[in-house]
Amino acid sequence: MHESNIQSLQQQVTSLRAKGKYKETIEACFDLLKRGEEIGDYKSILVAHLNSAASYYCIGDIEEAFRCISAYDEVCREHGDETDHLNRHNVLFLLYEYNKDYDKAKSTLDKAINLGTRLRKYNIVSNAYSNYSHLLLVERNFASALAMGKLGLEMAKIHSPSSPILKVRVKLNIAEAYIGLEDFKGSRLFIEEIENESVLDSDTYIREQVQFSMLRGSWYSHQGHYREAFEWLTHARDLVSHYDDIYLLEEIQRERCRLCEQMGDIETGFYAQKEYISVLLESRKRELERTALQLEVKHSLADLKKRATTDHATGLANRYRLESTANEWLREAADRCENIVCIVVDIDHFKRINDQYGHLFGDEVIRQVTDACTSVLRKEDLIGRYGGDEFVVILRGVTLDVGVRKAEQMLEAIRNLNVSCGETPVPISASLGVADNGEGTVLQFNDLFQLADVELYKAKANGRNQISVEGLLDSQRVQN
């Protein structure tokens, strides 16, 4: 694949995720991962795993998200740079936070802070401190949350170019920490600073506007000014409708109901409760939709995997799956000193059959040879279509002698095929080459295939319709 094409696919992946099209992102990531693995482009592999993890997180499939991060980590350790490791920490934090595993979340943030500081990526360091502060607020450790928030603000100030929204995000946590400490004067100073930030006038930062309104509500509520708090929460409710975050809206409506109880306002509380119930119903509906989306993604990905690894004409493993599976088996065999046999099957005079009887008949011959070969194989054996009229069989944990006997059975099954074109019977035979991995000394599929392929050409050179085995003399070749 050309470099420009794979870069285009990388951009497509990130663009789809930015648009919130998570199912399409995961499907595009599958394609990018496959292409990246085919050409050894590790950056594409990392991009695919990372965006898959983030997309699975967004649809609530945390198990799959962790699986993608594990795969990302494996590649990152060997081929990633420090920025790739930093990206890993950022996504891991989201996953740990989602699972409420705050100890691991904090540990991940510590690593992000240390690495980000070394790389002078102060915006990432600031966000990490801000996230740390948020976790501490959840734990009601307000003093530590304040300290982390202030560190985050220092990092935001030295980030270049200057980013007002980066400072606002940290200040929101700092102000909330002051409220938790009942330092309303200190909180008020930061609230006024946030209020004067023109960046919050932009529609780009609706979420931060919602958070600011909730902060104002919290400031009033903690001082017993429930009516003012309710008004700010109502403003937050109106803003979040543009942001479409049903879970944040659920939090806001729950707080509005609580404030009505504090005010003793039964009428307003009645309508607030109705709104809250409506939000809860919508939230449950979204949960069902998200579950449905998870299932849809799983089915779609399973279909993509099947199509990407299966030869459509025969239903056998295609060349990609054949090579990747065989390489995995050979690596394991090397550790165990296990024997693996490779058999290459080539239909004799297939071009002549196609030319004489047509390609549709040739396709039928391919299918019947496929059935003949699979009929004598074990369930655990791997057979794939290598290309055209050539098939490859990989036998795991068998001796070369056993492999030869299996090749003999396959050749006999092919010879016994009753294939006719109309009323004309067409005899079918094949040439087979057999080789093994020398109990773990051959480590790559291409090398093992080459050994068996050499034998295949010897079988053809000796008159076809026979088997040639690595290490045997011409006089010993299997012709049945």
Q: What is the mean pLDDT of residues 174-194?
A: 97
Predicted confidence (pLDDT) per residue in 187-223, tens digit:
999 999 999 988 888 788 888 999 999 999 999 999 9
Question: For residues 366 and 307, is the Cβ–Cβ distance under 8 A?
Answer: no
CB within 8 Å of 23: residues ≥ 6 apart = 59, 293, 296, 297, 300
How far apart are the C-alpha atoms of 431 and 429, rounded to whole Å? 7
Confidence (pLDDT) at 171: 97
Confidence (pLDDT) at 473: 45
How far apart are the C-alpha atoms of 335 and 339, rounded to whole Å? 11
Pairing of strands 424-425, 430-436: unpaired
CB within 8 Å of 445: residues ≥ 6 apart = 322, 323, 326, 327, 330
245's tokens: 């975050």
DSSP string, 373-384: HHHTS-TT-EEE
Q: What is the CA radius of gyration of the chain?
A: 32
> Which of 303-317, 320-334, 428-442 is the least confident region?
303-317
Q: Where are the beta strands (DSSP E) in 306-406?
A: 340-347, 382-387, 390-396
- Quickly tell me which residue has 């595993």 as its tokens: 101
Model confidence at 476, pLDDT cuts 50, 70, 90, reads: very low
Confidence (pLDDT) at 144: 98
Predicted confidence (pLDDT) per residue in 249-287, tens digit:
999 999 999 999 999 999 999 999 999 999 999 888 988
DSSP string, 52-73: HHHHHHHTT-HHHHHHHHHHHH
CA dist list (Å): 205 to 165, 208, 211:
8, 5, 10
Pairing of strands 390-396, 424-425: unpaired
Domains of the chain, first to last: 3-296 (1.25.40.10), 319-476 (3.30.70.270)
Distance, CA of 114 to chain centre: 27
Axis crossing angle, helix 319-336 with helix 445-461, rounded to the nearest 10: 110
